Every structure is written in structure tokens, then in C-alpha cells.
Copies of this chain bind each other. A is one copy, B any other.
């Protein structure tokens, strides 16, 4: 796969360099660590800070969500690899206002280990930390073992709600609680059509036959629940939705936020075609779409495919999903 890169070993540094230069009004690099970015618009004293992070290659996640109304800082790993504890700790120290920091990250072994280590180190420096692990991917473990599930695009709603809650002035435990509740109320499932490849190796992240797709495929090419022939967009959407519906309690008259997320190379045309079926399906069930997001929110380089996420909303969460955001890769008025 042809790529616009210089030294493949240096792609993450060059991305961060370009990003920091393009958006210096939003973010700044920390001198202490070159994989650590923080907001250039710090929030008021006394407010809880939000730290996100994970491997590179998922842009806009995670660095694209540092700004007003979402995260205050990000620790950036190598492609598809967790950041080590050092940048997490440096960001923690930089963003803490004395009210503590909530770490938001996906349920991957490396992230869990590194964020936990960083949290311990932060506690030794008298910074209170709460950790919230996103686990929205219904395909990655059975319902009874939700804590084993991977975090995929539904993480976006965890950031969205936590960022709003922090701005609303909730305390550390409360912001973490809202993030956990959002994760609890969120279900996602994806479908992979074509692989991405890492700049260092050029090898495809997974293999599929010409007319084959994979349901439940993970963001790094982790195996899904089944390979199947390509079908119509409506049939694919229905199958993703069926797995999501089986897994969450949604009653007639309830409200959801919807995210149809592209994995990197899927045109908007196809994402809106998928959204069209999601809307029809929810309408048939009498479930109200309170807010919709369609686009590339958490990608896997140039992977082909998409995921569908539903987040059940109560009145408090509606205010949070409506709250304005101003980040380099995501703005909501």
C-alpha cells in the first residue's frame, strides 16, 4: 500500500509535529515528553481534567479530541500500541488543576497496564486519578463478560459526556461515574471490508477474500465473530443492529445517540447509506434518535468498513451530548 510518509520509523513523530503546527491555537506539546499534548486553552481552576490516549493510527482519536468540551490532554503511543506510562504521567501533571484527572481509554491489555501504572505514579505525586475503560464492542466477548470487551468507536461518547461533565463542574468521582454510565449505556459493532497496513511493515492487518467481509472485526484487525459474503448495506446494517439490540435494553420512546463511524477509507456516501438503515430500524422500534454522528471518528489508518454505535440517553446525558465542543478534529456548536 502506497503511503505519504518519510522514514516509516518516524511517522508518529512527524504526524505530531505537523498536528501541533497546524493547531497551535488549540494544543501545545509538552517539553517533558514528545508524545504528550495538552490543550492550549486550560479550563477553570477547580474543574476536573480529562486525559485520553492510546495507539496512533486511530485519528481523529485520540489527539483530535483535545480541546474545549472534551479532553485536556492526550498521551500518544506508537501505531496501534499503547503509550507507555511516562507521557501519561507528564500529561497528568500538566493538566491537573488540583481537582483530579479522569483517564479514558479502551480495554486493551497494553493500555490497561500503562494507564494503571501511570495512575499509581500520579497518586505518589498527590494527584487523584480515576480510570474509566471503554468496552462497547459487543462482538468481542459475551454479554456476561462485558468487562472483557474491547473499546471501539463508542469511546467517542464516553469522551463527549465526560468532557461536558467536567465543564459542568462535577467532581472527580462524578465525572468518572458519568463516563462509566455512558460506557454502560453504549453498544457498538463493526464490520471490516478491507485491511490497513502499517508503514513499517506494509503488511495487511488481516486478510479477506474478494467478496468477503468480517463482522465484529477489531480496530487493530482482531478477529471478529464471522466472515461472510458481502451483502447489501441494509442487510449488513441489520445484522450489526441485531447484535446490538440483543445486548442492550432499549424500550419504545427512549432516546439514543447514534454514531456511524468510518474505519478510514469508507466514503461518506456509504456511511450515510448505513445511517439510513439505522434510522429506519430505530423508527420501526419506536426509538428516537436524539443526535446523529456520521463520519470518521475513530479510524484504523485506511481500513475499509464501519461500525454502528448506539448510546441510550437519559435527560442528563442529553445535555452532555448537546454541549459544545471545539477541538482540532471535532467541533460541535
- CB <8 Å contact, B269 and A23: no
Complex CA gap A196/B267 in Å reads 10
Report B-chain residues with C-beta under 8 Å of the C-beta of A2. Answer: 193-194, 211, 213, 230, 304
Q: Does A64 contact B (CB under 8 A)?
A: yes
* A-B contact list, 29 entries, CB within 8 Å: A1-B194, A2-B194, A2-B211, A2-B230, A3-B270, A4-B236, A4-B266, A4-B273, A5-B232, A6-B232, A6-B233, A6-B234, A11-B269, A15-B276, A18-B271, A18-B274, A18-B275, A18-B276, A18-B279, A19-B294, A22-B292, A56-B269, A59-B268, A264-B265, A265-B265, A267-B301, A268-B299, A302-B304, A333-B333
A326 touches which one: B56, B292, B333 (CB < 8 A)? B333
A140-198 residues at the B interface, CB under 8 angstroms? 193-194, 196
A57 touches which one: B18, B193, B233, B267 (CB < 8 A)? B267
Complex CA gap A124/B191 in Å reads 51
Report B-chain residues with C-beta under 8 Å of the C-beta of A12. Answer: 269
A233-B6, A302-B265 are contacts. A275–B21 as well, Cβ < 8 Å? Answer: yes
- CB <8 Å contact, A22 and B273: no
Q: Does A245 contact B (CB under 8 A)?
A: no
Determine how close the nearest CB of chain B comes to the CB of A29; give it in whole angstroms.
13
- CB <8 Å contact, B59 and A269: yes
- CB <8 Å contact, A59 and B279: no
